[in-house]
Amino acid sequence: MADLTVTAADVRPLPGCVVRRFTAGGAIDVGAPVVLSAAKTVVEADASTLAGATAIGVMVATAPNAASTTAAASGEECDVALFGPVAGFACTYNTIYYVDDDAGVIADAAGTKSFIIGIGLDTETLLVRPQFVALS
């Protein structure tokens, strides 16, 4: 299993991408898969648990007033790609990518709970398309 390489400075939604702003419930790196938390915020996804595996998308940007452009701190707003093409990933064409057991990591093999986050469109673009595979 190999982790997908992310270049945070290059991550950006491409035309046709659906993006929504959320509040970070913890530190989140740009390019990390995220889940909704009970507090109605987003946190980094991890496939070691059912609750952690159900990603809604990938964090693509911090809000303009954020302290950093590569990570959101708890309480800061961040933009999440819910569906569509996102640049800034070292992908392989037509490869399926999953939420990893390590928080905020995307990998080319399923974690404990199998949840697809997207598919490689080319060498630098991930088509974000969250979907369940086997969560039991």
What tens digit of pLDDT does each residue of 73-104 get?
999 999 999 999 999 999 999 999 999 999 99
* pLDDT value for 82: 98
Which of the four pLDDT bands, split at 50, 70 and 90, describes residue 2?
Answer: confident
Mean pLDDT within 106-133: 95
Q: Tokens for 27, please give them.
A: 């530190």
* pLDDT value for 99: 96
Cβ-Cβ contacts under 8 Å for 47 (sequence gap 6 or more): 53, 98, 99, 100, 101, 110, 111, 112, 113, 114, 115
* pLDDT value for 1: 65
